[in-house]
Amino acid sequence: MNFYKVIVMIGKYNFYLWLIEALKRRKMTLPEIRNKWYASSKNLDQTELTDRTFHRYRENIASELGVIIECNKKAGNIYYIKKSIYDDSRMLDWLLSAFKISMLGKRIHQYDVIMLEDAPQDIRYLDDILNAIEDKVYIQVDYQSVYGQKSSYIIAPFFVRLFKQRWYIIGEEKQYSKMRILAIERILSFEVLTEKFIKKDIISPRSFFKDCYGITKLEGNEVITIGLRAFWPQYVFLEERPLHHSQKMIKSSYDGEYREYEIKVQPTFDLKQELLNNGRGLVVLYPDSLKKEMIATLEDMVKGYSTGKDYSGEGLGHDALPINDLGLQ
């Protein structure tokens, strides 16, 4: 693809995502869309939008992005988003966010006032994995776990997930019909096979992780109700960024010192780590088993800080066995 074609493609997708974002805010007529696009800072070349171009782009948005833009002729030819394949997910918000970030490129002169998180580092197999998912073919990987153990898997890839700047592939191991969650950056070698797999059940990322925080998942699908007490101002952050979609406030102190919440999740490694990340601003109230486990972890941390020794229980290094959470492999 030559440089000119790349520029044209970027320009088209700039308009696609700009239009979706604009119509998410409010319905508009074509003249309104045309005027707003011409005046938009996203229209880098200040190109005018013709009727023919608009309708061609509208068809492309439907076929390429899965967003259906309809016209209500009875209401005065007003355009609106009728349907999106992203209605029940955060993918559309991701696309819009990515669009905004991409536009930072034109502010290169402000590089010293823009600070971003590190991007995912190892995405070398991501395109091939997505192609294998689309074609429903097995992949073979040689893999090294976080504990240093090396294994080979033949996987039916179902979907991928990004969590804390790291991409994971989720699929079913062919030999044992067992779900695996593997960090893509820990794949040592990768091969797409020709053998197709049959997806028996529809497994979506949202349904697979619906009872989880993070990327780890207990094999037994155990879900418990966890009571939390967050102190001010920590509960402000907790409400701005809930731990889980099941989070609900059940009590607030009369003086505003604390608020109590319940979440219904699996008590995974990732969840416990996130609870600890809240520091002294959050405590576990129940169940008693989890509360005692958190207290024991904090006591071990105090011992570690006091002595400089390892009280994590994982001091065997590369010889340690992985815990029974999917994902920590």
* Six token digits for residue 185: 């950056």
Q: For residue 182, which of 168, 172, 192 has the smallest C-alpha distance?
A: 168
Per-residue pLDDT, 17: 80
Per-residue pLDDT, 91: 63
Which CATH code fits 3-113?
1.10.10
Q: Which helix (H) or strand (E) holds 289?
A: helix 288-307
Let me know: does 54 contact 33? Beta carbons within 8 Å.
yes
CA separation for the pair 216, 327 (Å, rounded): 5
CA separation for the pair 24, 20 (Å, rounded): 6
Per-residue pLDDT, 281: 94
In the chain the beta strands, taken as DSSP E runs, fall at 28-29, 67-72, 78-84, 137-144, 150-163, 166-173, 178-183, 187-196, 217-218, 224-231, 248-252, 258-265, 282-286, 325-326
Ranges of residues in the chain whose predicted pLDDT is under 50: 1-8, 315-325, 327-328
Burial of 159 (0-12, 13-18, 19+ CB in 10 A): middle
Q: For residue 57, which of 23, 92, 107 has the smallest C-alpha distance?
A: 23
Give the CATH fold of the 126-200 domain: SH3 type barrels. (2.30.30)
How many Å separate Cα 24 from the centre of its chain? Answer: 21
* Six token digits for residue 324: 């029974």
Asked if the 218-307 domain carries CATH number 3.40.720, the reply is: no
CA separation for the pair 160, 204 (Å, rounded): 10
Alpha helices, H only, 211-287? 234-240, 269-277
Q: Give the torsion through C-alpha atoms of 320, 322, 327, 329, to 10 deg.
A: 60
Domain locations in the chain?
3-113, 126-200, 218-307
Per-residue pLDDT, 84: 63
Strand partners, 171: 157, 180
Per-residue pLDDT, 101: 59
Per-residue pLDDT, 65: 75
